[in-house]
Amino acid sequence: MKTSTRFLCSAALLAGMAVVSPAASVFYDNFDGYADQAAFEAAWTPIGTVTPLSATLATDQASSPLQSVRIDGTATTGQQRNQHSFAGTGPIDTLTTISFSFDFYDSNPAAAPYRQFSVLQDGTGTATGQIVGMGLNNNQLASASGGNFYMARITGYTPLAIDPDGGPGESGTLTSGMFFKLNDFASSPLRTVGWHNLKVVIGTDDGLSADFAFYVDNLLAERVNNVGTAAQFRSYDYIRLGSGFSNAGNAAWYDNFSVDVTAAAVPEPSTVGLCLFGALALIFSRGRQRRQA
């Protein structure tokens, strides 16, 4: 194989390995394209039960300029919650992961954790894994479970008092579906004022149960492995923005929601085929050169 061909094939194979982890975007919204509140509500259906029913398209904070969505501080439950549906992600398998990510503006980390969160949800099926939420909830104090970390929940999953990944155990009474702290590692970020990215990557290493990796500001903060069964793998099909609960008067902002499905890295057959063809051509031409010598 000529050097140029060999180089191209190496590059193509390397690119193939990287490229063939394509993240297919199932959903993305940065809120910057909405002309007004009505346009936002047309896309994100208000599902509050007490007025104001909807979160507010806002410019007072934005992770991606100029707009985000604000959920006001309130002492009333049932207000300011919205839902956006999309085509289902399809279920995970050993070669496929689902990631859910959004930016969260923490307005008051000095306060005890309050009910400001958003969830990825599957409209059908039994409880386990049906809802995956990230943000803050008031079931734990700031000092509980090792400190003032961001939080998450998975329906049907009961956090462990002793985490196999290390880090502080979960404090208090452990119940199914409760919010737990993202506290596994020394690098797990603590709460600070301002924007933070919260992300979960859902996969399965054995095809038998689901594994969840939670990231805060793109740092791995908590792993939860072996949840449920293969029959409970989900095709998620909507996001709910905001908790719909009272939040002790603490506002939060949300921006840049995304849901992606990513396939595992396998070289593309066409690339492999081209390189095999190149290698065979090289062997043939060397044989011919030898016979001519």
Which chain residues interact with Ca ion by CB under 5 A? 30-32, 62, 64, 67-68, 163, 167, 183-184, 255
Residue 90 and residue 233 in contact, taking contact as beta carbons nearer than 8 Å: no
Residue 156, exposed/middle/buried by CB under 10 A (0-12, 13-18, 19+)?
Answer: middle
CA distance 178 to 159: 8
Nearer to Ca ion, 62 or 111 (CB): 62
Least distance (Å) between residue 24 CB and Ca ion: 22
CA distance 80 to 74: 10
Least distance (Å) between residue 281 CB and Ca ion: 52
Closest residue to Ca ion, Cβ-based?
64
Sign of CA dihedral 282, 287, 292, 293: positive
In three-state secondary structure terms, 3 is helix
Least distance (Å) between residue 60 CB and Ca ion: 12
Nearer to Ca ion, 49 or 64 (CB): 64
Nearer to Ca ion, 106 or 163 (CB): 163
Nearer to Ca ion, 255 or 260 (CB): 255
Nearer to Ca ion, 32 or 60 (CB): 32
Measure Cα distances from 181 to 4, 19, 28, 234, 284 in Å.
53, 34, 26, 23, 62
Least distance (Å) between residue 216 CB and Ca ion: 12
Least distance (Å) between residue 173 CB and Ca ion: 16
Least distance (Å) between residue 79 CB and Ca ion: 22
CA distance 159 to 180: 7
Nearer to Ca ion, 214 or 236 (CB): 214
Least distance (Å) between residue 61 CB and Ca ion: 9
Side-chain-side CA neighbours of 32 within 13 Å: the count stands at 10
> Comparing C-alpha atoms, which of 190, 178, 185, 116 is closest to residue 150?
190
Residue 26 and residue 66 in contact, taking contact as beta carbons nearer than 8 Å: no
Nearer to Ca ion, 161 or 276 (CB): 161
